[in-house]
Amino acid sequence: MLSSVDNLEERARNIVLKLLERGPKSSSELASALEKHEIPKEIAKLVIDRFSEVELIDDASYAHQLADASRRTQGLARSMVKRKLADKGLDQDLINQVASDITDEDELLVATALAIKRLRQLSKLAPEVRNRRLIGFLQRRGFGPSIVFGAIREAEADAVKSEV
């Protein structure tokens, strides 16, 4: 017969496996889920450590994947990517490392692509209104002033080329 510790460990493993079936998770997210299922912290740490050893949980890989996906699909700036990673409970050193991989040139490319797309949607508006909306749109994505104005200049230059 299994002891209660063995039962809790087995239950914790099953919970973690079910969560990982749905997609990658950070060790912090898994620890929170186990806590919600009333698994003691010691057992949760033991199970999470074991899953990390066999590389079913890899916070660094998860952070890079999440950062890439956030930038590619949502067009988020470095600051917003950092916030999103922090929300997932990832280690601050890891967050800083992932964020340092995002260069200013990368930021400008993403912001420019967003600005070009948005500029097409706003083409019928007056220039002042269009620029104000474009600035707000890019700022909400977390881009700083230099990136925002650089991206708008690039987008407007692209629009002029397209008209010719």
CATH of domain 4-57: 1.10.10
Task: Enumerate the domain spans of the chain.
Answer: 4-57, 60-100, 104-163
Angle at 97 between CA 73 and CA 69, to 5 degrees: 10
What is the Cα–Cα distance from 85 to 88, expressed in whole angstroms? 5
Owner of token pair 């496996």: 17
pLDDT of residue 2: 46
Query: What is the tens place of the pLDDT at every residue in 102-151?
Result: 999 999 999 999 999 999 999 899 989 999 999 999 999 999 999 999 99
Tens digit of pLDDT for each residue in 128-137? 999 999 999 9
Architecture of domain 104-163: Orthogonal Bundle (1.10)
Q: 64: exposed, middle or buried (C-beta count within 10 Å: 0-12, 13-18, 19+)?
A: middle
The two domains 4-57 and 104-163 share their CATH topology (first three levels equal):
yes
CA distance 69 to 13: 28
